[in-house]
Structure 1
Amino acid sequence: MEHKILVVEDSPVVLKVLKHLLSQKPGFLPVLCTCYKEAEEQLAKHDDFYAAIVDLNLPDAENGEIVDLVLDKKLPCVVLTGNFDDKLRLSLLNKGVLDYITKDSRYSFNHVIKVIERLKKNKDIKVLVAEDSITSRHFIKHLLEQYRFQVIEAENGQEALAQLEADDEIRMLITDFNMPLVNGYELVRMLRYNSRFQDLVIIGLSAEGDSSLSAKFIKSGANDFLKKPFYHEEFHCRVVHNLEAQEMLETIRDLANLDALTKLYNRRYLFEEGEKFYRKSANAKAGASVVMLDIDHFKSKNDAYGHVVGDVLIESVAQAIKVAFPNYLASRFGGEEFCVIANCSGEELIKELNDFLQTLRELELTEAKIKLTCSIGVCGLAGKTFEEAIGIADDHLYEAKRLGRDQVVGV
């Protein structure tokens, strides 16, 4: 899906730069306007703009009228201007402008694009705001919603803890220090004692004057601390900076856990984390199954077409596995062999696996239109350890090959 970005700028050079930078980013479609009137016409014709980048001084609107036009349409708005005016900057931020950026370097243009990209990422991020003051809580919620975050509210630390326990998708907690029942400092300590919340980004807040409070919060496990009252820009910068730091950590972790060719989990991750996934699923009502898949006659195809084509075939099967089993844990076991851990019984899984085989049969891969099949072994027996289940599934895989390949064996 492409997101339309309204760009309003009278300088041809700046327009060209912004168009180039936005076009390089997948999912963005720049719509260029050189004056207020053109922007007004575009906004009247289309109601599906995602965000706007605007200059304040336009030939037919020299006093920033474009900002009011864009904000009236409820569009996130980034101001990119040639002049820095601190009073005007504060006025625009209070109006609801996302950012006020001056055209003083190449970095300025990159920063504009970064803000727009962040909007796209934020729509899938849940943030919990724990604050007993309704006024402060609603103010923080408003700031976060400007940046398209999904915001959840809690009136005290105890309620925040319950929200976090109930919702695994909350990525960030912004918590005040002085709250009833459980204060912010105690809340942070309780969360960091639980390994489940090790990746939760936590920012502490307080209006109290104790200078040691920030260090106390951070030493207890918070990622950052802000003293109230704070500026809009400082708040947004701290939120984004901490999220990006966590995302970088996740990227590094993924590099260690993912197979470089297929982007499925690697064998090391399978044996470290797969066992936990299997045990958790086995203890649940639905049960657990282990599936071993192997590409049929892969060596002969690899020898005939070369290693580059062989890699493409492995990538293609991995992609088909991702599409067919999005809710299961899939990994590359080694070579042309894959392992899938499913949180359902073996009998339920057989139909899904046969559908997968049928999909694979219909594919014609690479320019040579190579056809592929897989042999599959399944262990869905209750009471087996993870290693036992892999062994049984592997035995069934070789039985499938002995019986003629391109089939599923086991339950």
Structure 2
Amino acid sequence: MKVLLVEDSPVVLKVLRYLVSQNDLFIPILATCYEEAKASLIEYKDDFFAAIVDLNLPDAENGEIVDLILDRKIPCIVLTGNFDDELRLKLLNKGVVDYITKDSRYSFNHAMKVLDRLEKNKNIKVLVAEDSSTSRLFIKILLQQYQFQVVEAENGQEALAILEKDHTIKMLITDYNMPLVNGYDLVRMLRHNERFKCLVIIGLSAEGDSSLSAKFIKSGANDFLKKPFYHEEFHCRVNHNLEAQEMLQTIRDLANVDPLTKLFNRRYLFAEGESAYQKAIASGRLLSVIMLDIDYFKKVNDTYGHIVGDSLLESFSAYLKSAFPNEMISRFGGEEFCILLSTENEESAVSKVSKLFESLRVMQFTECDISITCSGGIACDMQTTLSQAIEIADERLYMAKNTGRDKLVSSD
């Protein structure tokens, strides 16, 4: 993604180019004046992810560069040496993403942080629940400036229905005073549902009750904003809450995800997997347990080295996730994996895993084009605990390995 950097100071431009280049996703395109920037926009046909611009250029001293960028619908970050509060508000109202003054080293770091945030936000969906079409439009515009995907709801009941259907929504911004279901009740309903425990929620209200913010947060909201609010305050609150949630997710991943394969680890399997297994028992559903082991994996390490072996484990794990996208998959240890597979009956479970084995026989992994096979054991009869089912599947796995490998054993 190309990022246009417009700055007349050679030193500052060099610093910006270096900082932008630290992110492999970004390609810095440099311009030292208005005309160079205009020429770059024409040359690359306005194909820019964002622009970082100085306001006072030799051939455009009054911020004309901002209009040039915004007219082309390119997110614009202003990085200037002059702080002018009136001008700042004017530019924010025009639609610039941020107005940053070059008063310290942190200013440049902040500009990079905004740029990185814009890139992350492209994949983040935000639901705005607001009965006022004017307020809803205003919030939508602010979110789209930061590259968020925006979904709208006119009341709390509609918001609930949307959240139930769309599992990809990461944030809810909800007004308090809405028909059918107000914002406060909406938050309470969501927080009583385990599925929405990681949803970031920001409450809004124009009402003067000073206790409303505490009421929202005590009911489970992450933050609260009183209307009207400034652009920068809104963006800061939204971004800070997302970053806090992402940090929590990183901590969870460190505890629950295998760093090499990016699959769940054994600890997570026995904690969350047991919970899922008990729910399946209670609801009368079948949850088959499959134990897989890559055949002769030690030969791969001995022949190609551990780096290639690790690459094979990464590629194989990615293939497992693509083959079973909605199932819990974990790295049990070494080259051994466990899958909890939800199907209607045993025949369907065995068929799905058998197809995996068939596809592996014609595949090659890593740059060394390594062919592999697997041995597997499956336990379809529901046991009292997940541990018991894993033990049965593991015994059948070793039976498969001891009777020729490259097979799935489903019974004793």
In structure 2, relative to structure 1, the CA distance for the partners of 1:384 and 1:402 (3 Å cut) is: same
Q: Once the two structures are superposed, what CA deviation does each residue of 1:32-71 show, in whole Å capped at 9, x if it has no partner?
A: 1111111111111223211111111111111111111110
TM-score normalised to structure 1 length:
0.89
* Superposed counterparts of 1:161-310, under 5 Å: 161-277=160-276, 288-299=287-298, 304=302, 309-310=305-306
Q: 1:378 to 1:281 in 2, by over 3 A?
A: farther
Q: CA deviation at 1:279?
A: 6.6
1:401 equivalent in alignment to 2:397: no
What is the Cα-based RMSD across aligned positions, in Å?
2.6
Q: Tell me the SS of whatever aligns to 2:240.
A: helix
Residue in structure 1 matched with residue 145 of structure 2 by the alignment = 146
8 A contact 2:295–2:375 mirrored in 1: no
> Is residue 374 of structure 2 the alignment partner of residue 347 of structure 1?
no
Q: How far apart are residue 264 of structure 1 and its match?
A: 2.2
Distance verdict in 2 for CA 1:312–1:278, change over 3 Å? farther
What is residue 346 of structure 2 aligned with on the other side? none
The answer to whether 1:375 aligns with 2:374 is yes
* Aligned match of 1:20: 18
Matched, 1:356 2:356: no
Does the 8 A contact of 1:53 with 1:78 survive in 2?
A: yes
- What does residue 317 of structure 1 align with? 313
| Residues 287 and 105 of structure 1: CA distance in aligned 2, closer, same or farther (over 3 Å) | same
| 1:141-187 Cα deviation digits (max 9, x unpaired) | 11011111111111111211221122211111111111112211121
Matching residue of 1:39: 37
Give the SS at the match of 1:53.
Answer: strand
SS in 2 for 1:251: helix
Q: Which runs of 5+ in 1 are unaligned?
A: none
- 1:33–1:282 Cα change, 3 Å: farther
1:229 is paired with a residue whose SS is: coil
**What is the rounded CA distance, in whole Å, between the counterparts of 1:242 and 1:78 in structure 2?**
21
Deviation at 1:119, TM superposition (A): 1.1
* TM-score, length basis structure 2: 0.89
Q: Higher mean Cα deviation, 266-275 or 91-100?
A: 266-275
CA 1:215–1:286 in 2, change beyond 3 Å: closer, same or farther? closer
Whether the 8 Å contact between 1:290 and 1:390 is mirrored in structure 2 is: yes
Describe the shift of the 1:122–1:287 C-alpha distance in structure 2 as closer, same or farther (beyond 3 A): farther
SS in 2 for 1:175: strand
Alignment counterpart, residue 29 of structure 1, candidates 21, 27, 30: 27
C-alpha distance after superposition, 1:313-351 (max 9, x if no partner): 245224322234331422111233221233452202311
Q: How does 1:30-109 map to 2 (within 5 A)?
A: 30-46=28-44, 47-109=46-108
2:110 aligns to what SS in structure 1? helix
Report the more deviating stretch, 42-51 or 136-145.
42-51
What is the number of residues matched between the two proteins?
401
Aligned to 1:6: 4
Superposed CA deviations along residues 3-30 of structure 1, whole A, max 9, x for unmatched, are 1111111111111111111111121111
Distance in 2 (alpha carbons) for counterparts of 1:119 and 1:165: 27
Q: Give, in whole Å, the separation in 1 of the partners of 2:160 and 2:67.
A: 40
- Choose 255-264 or 73-82, whichever is displaced more: 255-264
CA distance in 1, matches of 2:342, 2:230: 47
Instruction: Rate the CA distance shift 1:24–1:285 in 2: closer, same or farther, 3 A.
Output: farther
In 1, the alpha carbon distance for the partners of 2:122 and 2:73 equals 15
1:359-392 CA deviation, whole Å, 9 max, x = no partner? 2xx3467xxx695634321426365564454334
State the one-letter code of the partner of 1:340: I
Segments of structure 2 that go 5 or more residues without pairing to the other structure are 344-348
Q: Which residue matches 2:158?
A: 159
Distance apart, 1:407 and its partner CA: 3.8
